[in-house]
Every structure is written in C-alpha cells, then in structure tokens.
C-alpha cells in the first residue's frame, strides 16, 4: 500500500517562540521516525498547496482569515498565552489547510491508499470563530466540509489527548459528519463530556469518550471495538479522517495518558477497517515528546502501509473501562 505524505517548508517557519512545545522539530521527528521504521520506500512526500479561500470561508468567517494575514504581516503576536502568530504563520496555516484538500484530490485519482497531512500549525482546537490551543485554521474541518458539501458522508475520529473542541463546534449540528473523540478528561480545553452528543439534525453524531489520566492501550482498543468502530460503521462514511495527535503517549510532557507508539499503530489499523483504501486521511495534531512522536509516526505509517511496526510494547492495566461502557450505553444501547 502506498502512503502520500503532504507537507511544506513554510510549516517549519511558523515560529511559536522559545520553549513552546508546538515547534518545527516536530515535523523533523515525523520524517525521522518513518526512516527509523524502514518505511522510506513506502511513502511519497509531496508539497502542500494553498487552500482556496472559498474552502477556508466555508469553515471560518472571512474576517478570521483576514485578521490572521494582517497579524502576520504586522510581525505577529500572541492570540492567547498558548497560540502565537509569526510573520510566516498565515502562509503556513493556508498551506496546512490546503494539504488535506490536495490529498483528497490525489486519493480520488488513485495515487495512493492513504494520505497523511504532516503540517503545522495544527488545527483541531480552532472553532469556527476562535483560534486557540496552538491552532489557527481547522485543517481537518476544512477537508471534511469540502467533502460533505459535495455529498460525501464523513467520519472524523480524533485520537489526540486533548478534545477536538473546534472540530466538534463546527459539525455539532451536521448529520453528515460524524465526530468521535477519545481524550483525557478533565483536561484542556475542558470540553468533550460524554453527554455532548450533537444538537438538532446532528444529535447523535458527536461521540465523546472521556478517558481518565493513566488510560492505557488496552482501554483504547476496547473503546475501538466496543464503541468507535461500531458507531463509524453505523454512520456508513465514504471517507475517514483521523486527527492524529500523539500527546497521549506516556512520555508526553503536557498530558497524563499512558499510551505507547504501538498502541497508536493498532488504533489506526482498527479504524482503517471502516472505509476502503483510498478514502483514508490522517492529520497531524499534537505530540510534544520528539522521540515518542518519531516512534508513533513509524507505527502509523506502518499501519497505513500494511507493515507491522512495533517500536514499543502495547500498554495495559490503566483505568477507563467505565468510560467506554458509559459511551456505549449512550450511543449503542
């Protein structure tokens, strides 16, 4: 199986400042991990184009995009204590949003079986109207909106340690886009309770599995089997988009989950069973320990290329089964 990986050099120039966890070295760590796993021949790297403005304003108001460009042009600044804009950030964010759209086109042309948008800034915390949590434009939402607007049924599964509040906000009332999140709770951004299930026509198409600190891979695998895969299959998506954040790794400096890189590879492999090859897209979100990010990148590219890559052992014995059961009761009773 072939894996297309989209990125752009501008994504390295988005400067968040000294000591910030969301830093350019993250992209280098992904590339290094793929090489360490012996998978360089399984991937093809491509350059991300700009996202068209109409795709951006289908998700965010034009004023948000314009204000971002103006802030970059004026030298940058902080949107909030975590979310920083530099002179190249607007250009990088537009490439990051364009990456997923271009991968969709390429997958539809049959160029690969799986696409991975390896870009920064990440996106899943950006709501329709608010940039936050290191995120400026919601990359996965731009791709999902484009697909849904032409009649596709989309499932987004967010495996970042932090709840994808922005993605949830954008699709909370949309019956054609399923949003599933597995995340540490309570933790930033303090959203993603199990009873947040969508509203109006979208009621039931938001699924939150709120994991306690210390949750391990066996709990996540049970969540996949008992909740995530069944609800995705029930939705019958034509496309699967995965917000692939690796900050649930036990080595990550800003979260308290207990996963290993091999756990991530197994989760992605489970999710890929829900849609055919050529309709599978990954988006880089969090992950701030560089070695953990490298190992996880190798594991998920292995899963994408149907190669068994196990940089670490799977993890077991943590809490969270009760939260899996709760989500099952809410959504599959």
* Residue from 8, 14, 60, 125 carrying the catalytic annotation: 125
pLDDT given for residue 142 in this prediction: 99
What are the extents of the domains in the chain? 3-332
The verdict on whether 125 is a catalytic residue reads yes
SS3 string, the chain, reads CCEEEEECCHHHHCCCCCCCCCCCHHHHHHHHHHHHCCCHHHEEEEECCCCCHHHHHCCCCHHHHHHHHHHHHCCCEECCCCCEECCCHHHHHHHHHHHHHHHHHHHHCCCCCEEEECCCCCCCCCCCCCCECCECCCHHHHHHHHHHHCCCCEEEEECCCCCCHHHHHHHCCCCCEEEEEEEECCCCCCCCCCCCCCCHHHCCCEEEEEECCCCCHHHHHHHHHHHHHHHHHHHCCCEEEEEECCCCECCCCCCCCCECHHHHHHHHHHHHCCCCCCCEEEEECCCCCHHHHHHHHHHHHHHHCCCCCCCCCCCCCCCCHHHHHHHHHHHHC
- List of residues 6+ apart from 151 with CB closer than 8 A: none
Q: What is the Cα 91 distance to its own chain's centre?
A: 20
The answer to pTM > 0.85 is yes
Q: What is the torsional sign of CA 79, 178, 292, 280? A: negative
Judge residue 31's burial from the number of C-beta atoms within 10 Å of its C-beta, 0-12 exposed, 13-18 middle, 19 or more buried: middle
The answer to whether 278 touches 107, Cβ cutoff 8 Å, is yes
pLDDT given for residue 193 in this prediction: 98
Tokens 């991937």, residue located = 43
**Rounded mean pLDDT of the chain?**
98
pLDDT in tens, 178-225: 999 999 999 999 999 999 999 999 999 999 999 999 999 999 999 999
pLDDT given for residue 333 in this prediction: 83
pLDDT given for residue 121 in this prediction: 98
For residues 1-30, average pLDDT: 97
CATH code that applies to domain 3-332: 3.40.800.20
Percent of all residues in the chain with a pLDDT value above 90, rounded to a whole number:
99
Judge residue 17's burial from the number of C-beta atoms within 10 Å of its C-beta, 0-12 exposed, 13-18 middle, 19 or more buried: exposed
């Amino acid at each position: 199986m072939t894996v297309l990986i989209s990125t752009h050099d501008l994504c390295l120039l988005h400067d968040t400042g000294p000591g910030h966890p969301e830093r350019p070295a993250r992209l280098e760590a992904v590339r290094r991990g793929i090489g360490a796993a012996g998978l360089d021949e399984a991937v093809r790297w491509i350059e991300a184009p700009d996202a068209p403005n109409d795709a951006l304003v289908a998700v965010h108001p034009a004023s948000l995009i314009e204000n971002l460009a103006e802030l970059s042009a004026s030298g940058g600044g902080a949107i909030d204590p975590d979310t920083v804009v530099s002179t190249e950030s607007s250009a990088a964010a537009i490439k990051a949003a364009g990456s997923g759209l271009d991968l969709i086109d390429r997958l539809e042309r049959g160029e690969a079986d799986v696409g991975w948008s390896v870009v920064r800034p990440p996106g899943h915390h950006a709501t329709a109207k608010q940039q936050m949590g290191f995120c400026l434009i919601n990359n996965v939402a731009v791709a999902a909106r484009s697909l849904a607007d032409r009649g596709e049924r989309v499932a987004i599964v967010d495996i970042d340690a932090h709840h994808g509040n922005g993605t949830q906000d954008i699709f909370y009332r949309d019956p054609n886009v399923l949003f599933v999140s597995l995340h540490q709770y309570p933790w930033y951004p303090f959203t993603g309770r199990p009873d947040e299930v969508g509203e109006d026509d979208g009621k039931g198409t938001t699924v939150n599995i709120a994991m306690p600190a210390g949750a391990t891979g066996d709990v996540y695998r049970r969540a996949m089997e008992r909740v995530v895969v069944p609800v995705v299959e029930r939705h019958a998506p034509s496309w699967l988009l995965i917000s692939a954040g690796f900050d649930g790794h036990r080595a990550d400096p800003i979260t308290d989950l207990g996963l290993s890189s091999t756990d991530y590879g197994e989760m992605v492999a489970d999710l890929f069973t829900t849609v055919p090859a050529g309709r599978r897209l990954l988006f880089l979100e969090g992950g701030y320990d560089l070695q953990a990010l490298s190992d996880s990148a190798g594991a998920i590219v292995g899963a994408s290329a149907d190669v068994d890559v196990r940089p670490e052992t799977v993890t077991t014995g943590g809490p969270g089964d009760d939260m899996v059961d709760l989500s099952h009761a809410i959504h599959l009773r």
